[in-house]
Chains A and B, each alone.
Chain A
Amino acid sequence: MTTAELITELKQKDSLLPQAVLKDSSLQELATQLTEIFETKQEELLGDDKFRNNFTELINYIYLNTLTKQPERRNKSIFAENLISFLLNAPHPAV
């Protein structure tokens, strides 16, 4: 599955894809596309617990991959600060 298909699936609010699929895509590319989704789908993120949970998990996956890089090679601003702030402050479902 391509990154574009992944994003389409996310937009359709389907479940998180297997991590193996994500490994083929560049983290920066995914981060950019997730930020774009955030900008157009904030209301859905707020209103749909499952969608928001999967979205947050995907962002966490990117952070964890960033951790394996040396600090000087990490891109700490990989996500817009307001996106992270939104996800950390929005109510999440108790899973």
Chain B
Amino acid sequence: MPYPTEVQGWKTVAADKWIIFDTDAVISILEFGQLYILDELKELHAEFVYINPVLLELMNTNDAKRKLQRSKVLVDYDFIELPLHQEEIKLAGRIQKSLPLRCQPSPTDLYLGGTLARHHEENRLLLTANIKDFPLPIYTRKGHLLLQNDHSLKTLSLLCTDNTQLIS
């Protein structure tokens, strides 16, 4: 397993890629007030995508202001919704079977994994702050970026899948 400092810089990894956003990645970027990261990714010609369960999680708050803030980001940065077809659902099921018993991600995380696995040959990446539900060796770490403010620090990770690790 590579030591994290040996992983490529996130800008190199993310350039010209489609980035699939996990819910917590969007929320973390907003809460740390670091939208410039999205601007930098756009400058690197990255495209931003999400799946419908992520949108449902983003809107699952009673705070109208937060909802507005989140949907405004999705509109402003041209996020596109990737459809969930039978193939993605099947791959999500294979991921679930392949994970260790102690790892029980949410359905949204499994669908994100299925979507990532579906597109693994197209070099798409998942951006998440919740790496514990995306364990090695199924999910390969491609890069990490840091969010920070005056009193805390958070890591966002760019992942892809190793489909050879999936039980059929």
Main secondary structure of the interface of B (DSSP, over half): helix
* A contact residues, range: 20 to 34
**CA distance in complex: A95, B64 (Å):** 9
Q: How many A-B residue pairs have CB under 8 A?
A: 51
In the complex, whether A80 has a CB less than 8 A from a CB of chain B is no
* Neighbouring B residues of A53 by C-beta, 8 Å: 64
Number of B residues with CB within 8 Å of any CB on chain A: 18
Return the chain A residue nearest B79 by Cβ: A67
Return the chain A residue nearest B64 by Cβ: A56
Interface pair B69/A88, CB less than 8 Å apart? yes
Interface pair A67/B78, CB less than 8 Å apart? no
Main secondary structure of the interface of A (DSSP, over half): helix
Interface pair B71/A64, CB less than 8 Å apart? yes
B residues adjacent to A (C-beta < 8 A):
55, 59, 62-65, 67-69, 71-72, 74-76, 78-81
A residues adjacent to B (C-beta < 8 A):
52-54, 56-57, 59-60, 63-64, 66-68, 70-71, 74, 76, 84, 87-88, 92, 94-95
5 shortest A-B CB distances, which residue pairs? A56-B64, A71-B78, A63-B71, A95-B62, A92-B65
